[in-house]
Chains A and B, each alone.
Chain A
Amino acid sequence: MQAARLPRQNDTMSALVRLLDVSKRYADTLALRPTDLSVERGRTTVLIGPSGCGKSTLLRLIIGLVEPDSGSIEFDGAPIGPDNIDSVRRRIGYVIQEGGLFPHLTGRNNATLMARYLGRENEETKQRLSELCELTRLSESLLDRYPLELSGGQRQRVSLMRALMLSPELLLLDEPLGALDPLVRASLQKDLKEIFAELKQTALLVTHDLAEASYLGDEIVLMNEGRIVQQGSIADLREKPAEPFVSEFINAQRGITSL
């Protein structure tokens, strides 16, 4: 089975995550129709689409917060199942809109929680933390504060540090900048782009903001009503819309930004 996968991994478009015919239904709504998707190494893939289009569900399927009703998800060539999900999770960083920082732990302890849990060496962790502070442009002194003592932007930076702590192969970001004011948001977008570039980070980011998607994404995946409508660069989407919805979505966003 491994052998069969190997050639595909060595493709020029080598995929870190591969969804094959994955679908998910919540009660009476079909959140994700049977879908195929590849997340390629070293690139930033952006999932975009209106609310409820299934983009967050797709992310949550990969990190194992929900299980697919059909199909399979492969991580680094191996199907994800109950027996390997925790080890897969430790190779993935996950950042959500509200940060998801634990309020009872300081920023430092939030960031180093997993390293300490896995018994990583203290010095190594310390050094990594300093690197990450530099990378995320967060003053190290702020790490001794509790989440409630940090601003929204600072919280997201700590959250990013926590996600990057174990040098994950994949970074999942679910509307990470959605709750921030425009100025903080712009500065974080810029920082994120630099971080992804510097780390050659494979990232899968969910947003509903087309400008953010086109700024950060190497590959844009537009979704609607539980399915992928079109996948490609922003130019592809703008110039060669696969269906009327693509133009509709792009024009709606443009309308807002041109105000």
Chain B
Amino acid sequence: MNRITKAGKQGRFESRTHESRNCRGSRVGRAADTHATTVDLLFFWFRDSFLVSWVPDFLLIFSCIPAFVINSSSAADVVIGSKKFTESYVLGEIAKRTLTDAGISAEHRQGMGGTIILWEALRGGQIDAYPEYTGTIATEILKSDSSVSLDQIQDSLKKVGIDTTAPLGFNNTYALVMRRSEAQRLGIRTISDLRKYPELRIGLTHEFLDRQDGWQPLRERYALPQQNVTGIDHALGYSALTNGSIDVKDAYSTDAKIEENDLVVLGDDLQFFPKYEAVFLFRSSTRPDAIAALGRLKGTLNETSMIRLNAEAERTKNYTRAADLYFNAGVALAPRTSERSGPSRFGDSFPGKLARWTLRHLQLAGFSLLLSIIVGIPLGIVASRGGAVGQIILGFAGVVQTIPSLALLALLVPLPFFGISVRTAIAALFLYGLLPIVRNTATGLQDIPRTLRESAVALGLSPMARLWKIYLPIASRSILSGIKTSAVINIGTATLAALIGAGGLGEPIISGLNLNDHVTILEGAIPAAVLALLVQWCFDLLDRVLIPKGLRL
């Protein structure tokens, strides 16, 4: 649970412990630009979904939403992938620009997921290259020790048709940071220097506290005397550090916050932290001129410049512009012109963003609600007949409901079909919305007086006719109220979809949480609340249309 909460606050959502290391670098940048990728996934999912086969109307509804039927394949020569955090986005954009400048058409699929997803996409040929770190390649991909050399890494990778570029120049590893003023006052420059100040208060992320290569071995290696060590959320930890509640915290060495908050990285004088040097992984079969172009990035980025690019990307939420900084040595260019890499067709203005978030939010909540209705009402009908099957259905739906929504997302992510994708968000929302509909359908039907049931039977109506003409209309109020509950829950819960990059009004909320920025949180929270009220109101109107008049007297 600890992990989940923390992951949520940090704006990423990876259930596998080994995945967490991949979110190196600044973890703050949210997946603002995942639209095209996630849309593709959703499209294929719905197209292949078993549901479609028995719900043809689904396709019809589906085709009415143009946003869902765009961009399903790539025409570019080289496809670059990136992971779901700012630094990976920026590096992906740099690669794209590098290739484009070399006359090679390139596409950047932003924020596809974590290491496993990117690695499988690379091996499967869906992408040709993506930025990765040597330590991650060694431990996560090759499952070996983080001390192996780059040559050894390359030898192993070549066996599966993958290669790496030379290091780009910076090392994004764990680091301890302090306020610059405090460090200067005490004369602390390295981790060893901390030994002299046992009274310093240390605030560490829960992950760093728990890691095998985290705080405990670090403390032993350096013989650190500090007793006041607390676990704190990554983003909140920066606030705590700047306002003086703590003196030392863990960070990543290229974290944009280091520059923003005027912090210093303490030197790892005993070389405790493993090397996480940035490289590009690419398929050996990629066209040679593209490989050559990526090779020219060797040694061109140091920690300081990467911190600056990350800070620019986070400040503007414009990864292309941050990448342009790399090429133009500090000159911020005019807004990008590429039609594909823009965050959305609505542009970047607040109303545009709000429209995009809201539309996506409604799509998430709407699709999942539709699924909940299509599945929930038949289940409710079966459940209304009682017996073991009814008990199992109501029991299952009830158990799903008792799982916290965040945990439900976390449970789905490791399943083969799901992962970090919109389908996971919709599946979780669908499951979450199921119980109110199933239960209300079942109780609505069970509450029909026996005399009315028997009258329907005695008339000689067939079982189907009884259901459609008598039972369901009489239960309509209860069923609709279940659907309404489901819809309102979905609108609220859909904010969590942003945790797995599915977008929606949760995007600003989670960005805001990461940035500790209340205004950004409210940009998502207020529209979400308004939306929930609107949905409630719409359903109240719908009641008047759908509930037979004779039941409303």
Contacts and interface: CB of A to CB of B under 8 A. Distances in A.
Chain B binding surface, main DSSP class: helix
Interface residues of A, number: 28
A103 B460 contact: no
A104 B474 contact: yes
B458 interface: yes
Contacts of A148: 550, 553
B465 interface: yes
B547 to A, nearest CB: 8
Interface string A108-120: 0000011001000
A87 B470 CA distance: 19
29 contacts: A63-B458, A64-B458, A65-B454, A65-B457, A86-B460, A87-B460, A88-B460, A94-B455, A94-B458, A96-B451, A96-B454, A101-B455, A102-B452, A102-B455, A102-B473, A102-B474, A103-B474, A104-B476, A104-B549, A105-B550, A113-B469, A114-B460, A117-B461, A117-B465, A117-B469, A146-B549, A146-B553, A147-B550, A149-B553
A242 to B, nearest CB: 32
B196 to A, nearest CB: 82
Closest 3 CB pairs of A and B: A100-B455, A89-B460, A146-B550
Interface in B464-490: 465, 469-470, 473-474, 476
B459 interface: yes
Contacts of A64: 457-458
A33 interface: no
Given A87-B460, A103-B452, 5 more contacts: A64-B458, A104-B548, A105-B550, A146-B553, A149-B553
Nearest to A116: B469
A90 interface: yes
A136 interface: no
B553 A113 contact: no
Contacts of A102: 452, 455-456, 470, 473-474, 550
A90 B460 contact: yes
Contacts of B551: 103-104
B550 A94 contact: no
A106 interface: yes
B337 interface: no
Interface residues of B, number: 23
Nearest to A104: B548
A182 to B, nearest CB: 23
Contacts of B469: 113, 117
Given A103-B550, A104-B473, A148-B550, A86 B462 contact: yes
A16 to B, nearest CB: 17
Interface in B411-457: 449, 451-452, 454-457
Contacts of A113: 459, 461, 469
A90 B462 CA distance: 11
A149 B550 CA distance: 9
Interface of A: 60, 63-65, 86-90, 92, 94, 96, 98, 100-106, 113-114, 117, 146-149, 162
A87 B455 CA distance: 15
Contacts of B462: 86
A152 to B, nearest CB: 14
A175 B461 CA distance: 23
Nearest to A148: B553
Q: Which of B452, B459, B465 has the most CB of A within 10 A?
A: B459
A111 B386 CA distance: 31
Contacts of B548: 104-105
A105 B473 CA distance: 9
B553 A100 contact: no
Contacts of A87: 460
A143 to B, nearest CB: 13
A65 B550 contact: no
Contacts of A147: 550
A102 B550 CA distance: 9
B550 A100 contact: no
Nearest to B449: A98
Contacts of A117: 461, 465, 469
A87 B462 CA distance: 10
Interface in B84-126: none
Interface in B365-408: none
Contact of B459 (A94, A106, A146): A94
Q: Which of A90, A96, A102 has the most CB of B within 10 A?
A: A102
A164 to B, nearest CB: 12
Nearest to A98: B451
A94 B455 CA distance: 8
B459 A114 contact: yes
B542 to A, nearest CB: 16
A149 B549 CA distance: 11
A107 B371 CA distance: 36
A35 B332 CA distance: 99
A129 to B, nearest CB: 16
Contacts of A89: 457-460
A247 B550 CA distance: 47
A96 B456 CA distance: 12
Given A103-B551, A104-B473, A148-B550, A65 B458 contact: yes
A238 B476 CA distance: 52
Contacts of B470: 102
